[in-house]
Every structure is written in C-alpha cells, then in structure tokens.
Amino acid sequence: MILYNLLRFLLYLIIIILSIFNNKLIKFFNSRLFQKMGNDNFLNNDEKAALIHFSSVGEFNLSKELIEKILQGGKAGENQKVILSVMTDTGFEAVSKKYSENQNVKIFYFPLDDFFAIKKLYKKYEIEKTIVVETEIWPNLYYFAAKSGKLFIVNGRLTEKKLKSYLKFGWLIRKTLNRATEIMVQSIPDKERYEKLGLDKTKIKVYKNLKYSIKYNKISDEQKKHYYDTVVNRNKKVIVCGSTRPDEEKIWLEVFEKININNEYQLVLVPRHLERVNEIENIILKKFSKADYSLMTQLEKNTAKAKTDNLKKIIVVDKIGVLTDFYQLADFVFVGGTLADIGGHSILEPLYYGKKPIIGKYFQNIEEIVKDAKELGFVEIVKDKDEIVEYLKKSENVDTRSFFEKNNEIDKILEEIHQLNFGK
C-alpha cells in the first residue's frame, strides 16, 4: 500500500505538469479529486450507508435491479441509504438522471482511488458495505471497504488477457482482492482464473450474469406506427443485423441477395460504430442500386416520401440508441461481432423480446450466455452464408420467458450481501 501510494504521488506530479497545457485534464481531475463530500444530514442517527461502485453506463444499466433491491433493504419501514460511485462522465449523467431526486441516494464521481478522498468518503458516510460491480481493482478502495465493513465483488469476470497482466503484479493484486468478503463471478472459467491469482478459494462463488436481471424497454404502439410509417416494411420479413462489424455487412448483403429473390425480405443494418456508415453505403452500392437502400435519418426527414416509396429493401441505421427498437420489430435477428472475430455482443436483448438470435462462431466474449441459450435451443449458431440462408427460410417462434426466469440469480446474490443486515 505504501509503495502504491508513493507511485500515485509521483503520478500526480506528472499530471499537474500536463494539466498546465490541457484544460480537459484539469476539469477531469478536479471533478473527481476535489468534489464536495459533505454529509448534508444524509444519514440519520444510527444509519450506515452502502456504496456501489461501477465504471460506466453499461455497468450501471446491468446494476439497476440490484440497486433498487438494495435501496429497499434497510431497517423495517426504512430505505437503505446508498452511495453510487461512477467513473465516467456518461455514467455519471445516466445515474444522475435516474437518482438525483432520490433522498436515499448520493452520487459521486469515483475519486480515482485517492487515499485521502476515499478515507474521507468512508468516514463521512459510515459505509458498512461496499459492492464493486465487475472487476475493478483499486487498492485504496478495497482497503477502506474491508476496514469499514464488508466488501463484495459482484458480476466479476476475468479474461485470460487480464489474468496475464495481473500476474505481473501478483503480490499487489492478490493482497487487494483477498480483502473482499466474497467474489461473485459470472462463470466457472472466471472462477478458475481468479484462483490462479492465488486467492482464498472459499471466497469465490459463481452466479449468473447480472444481465439476466435487466428489464429492457418496450416500444409503444405509437413508436411502432412511426417505424412502420417511415422505415420498416410490415409486409415483409424483416432481418435486423445489430452491432455489425467490418466484413459482416458484406456477408449479410450476399445472403440478402440470395434469399430475396421474390422481394419478400427487408434488411436493416445497425453498425456498432456510426463512423462506418459511409463505408457501409459503398459496400451496398457494389451490389445494389442507390434506389434500393436509404439511411434511416433520411426516411424520417421525409415521412410522406417514405410512405409512398414502398420503403427501401435495405436500411442503414445511422442513429444511436434505437437497436432494441428494431429488435422488437424484427422477424430475424443477427448479433454482430460473431462472424468477424470480435467475440460477440450481447444476445440478451433479442432474447428478451422473444427473438432467437443468429450468431457466428466467434462468441468467446459471451460464451456463458450462449451456452445457457443453446441448452434451451434459443440461439442459432451458423458457420457460413449457406447456413444463414437455410435458417432464414424457416419461420420459428420461441418463448424465451423461461430463459430469464431460469438464469436470473439476483436474489441469491442479495442473500450473500445481506449476511449482515444493512443499517445494523
């Protein structure tokens, strides 16, 4: 700990020098290291708080149900007081939007593991339990969390790549992680990788991914009408390719050319990164005419034209935050990053909406979820274009409600955290 904080002190000196020439850097560190931490009568006489730490919007979204249940877990008739610690600006905005008016919640930027800022936070708010979502290793946070009460790592995961880098600092990582009361990981392979760090094996337990507890938004009838009036052709079988990566659009355009002989399908491409839209347009124009496709925003700008145009064969979604809307309108869903060797993006959204996702062979990032879905026949793994074409010729409906009921273990996770009752 002493060596770690000495190194941090040297890093501060470097940052101070760099900040002279960088206003963004000054703002970043000021917002995190010098934020106000006054109690402001947040706690009553004998109350203690729980701290939940996560990095960004993604971790916040999968933690929402956990946060709500912990808020309800105080003494009889009272809510638990909760402090939410978040690293990123976008995460802070999302948390503030949800909880800024809640008197039982305090929101802070994570103070970058600064020894004195963390110490002040724990002293001011009498933090009894600390919950770290996924695996962020912060020695000072873990030190004060263990000193003040109990520390839990929830939804922990550890890739082979991370394991190799952690082993280079094995003594520090091992000492830090062993401060945890319990480490709840997403899978047996994650458990095995944690054990390779030399941790106390009795502390490591396996529970299903918190993503199974997420309640995704459902679009209204009014929103559906908007999409049907402007973008989606309700008279065709709609194929939605979500979070696509380079080369995957090309594969699906070739599939679409083969399958759409009788003009009965519509292809909706939703790239993972919007800066690739022009690149995708150029790929389309190598096989199709300009009249065959449109950008989503162009159709929305001219609703009257979209209605009379019989809607396009191919739509490129050049707008963020609408992928799950299209999943709900789809007849077939492909989840990207699986035909290209990326490792796969989440298949839970289409499953939540009752759609059986099509994926390629590269799903190492979502291996456990794919395994769970495969056991129930809720995922279609394809090797090549021909297998995709054959599957699209089918018409398959699945009821995925049992999938989420079977794999949602949030109550079991809460039982572990509630070994000592909050507020006592």
176 CB-side CA count, 13 A: 21
pLDDT at res. 373: 94
- Pairing state between β 314-316 and 293-295: parallel
d(CA 245, CA 368) in angstroms, rounded, equals: 22
Mean pLDDT per 10-residue segment, the chain (424 residues): 85 81 85 82 87 94 94 70 95 95 95 94 94 93 96 94 91 94 94 94 95 92 94 94 97 96 96 96 94 91 62 92 96 97 95 95 93 93 95 81 89 86 52
> For the residues of 182-242, what is the DSSP string, one character each?
EEEESSHHHHHHHHHTT--GGGEEE---GGGG-------HHHHHHHHHHT--TTSEEEEEE
pLDDT at res. 310: 56
pLDDT at res. 420: 55
Q: What is the pTM of this model?
A: 0.81
| Residue that has been written with the tokens 């947040």 in this structure | 42
pLDDT at res. 304: 59
pLDDT at res. 424: 46
The full length of the chain comes to 424
pLDDT at res. 44: 84
Beta bridge partners of 271: 244
DSSP state of 332: E
Q: Which token pair is 277?
A: 């839209």
- Report domain 46-207+409-417's class: alpha beta
Domain spans, the chain: 46-207+409-417, 221-406
pLDDT at res. 5: 86
Nearest in space to 121 (alpha carbons), one of 36, 12, 9: 36
Question: Is there a common fold for 46-207+409-417 and 221-406?
Answer: yes
d(CA 7, CA 200) in angstroms, rounded, equals: 27
- Report domain 221-406's class: alpha beta
d(CA 54, CA 87) in angstroms, rounded, equals: 7
pLDDT at res. 149: 95
Please count the other Cβ atoms lying within 10 Å of the Cβ belonging to residue 9. Answer: 9
Cα-based angle 232, 266, 254 (whole degrees, multiple of 5)? 150
In Å, how far from its chain's centre is CA 162?
18
Q: Measure the CA dihedral 165/171/174/180, to 10°.
A: -120
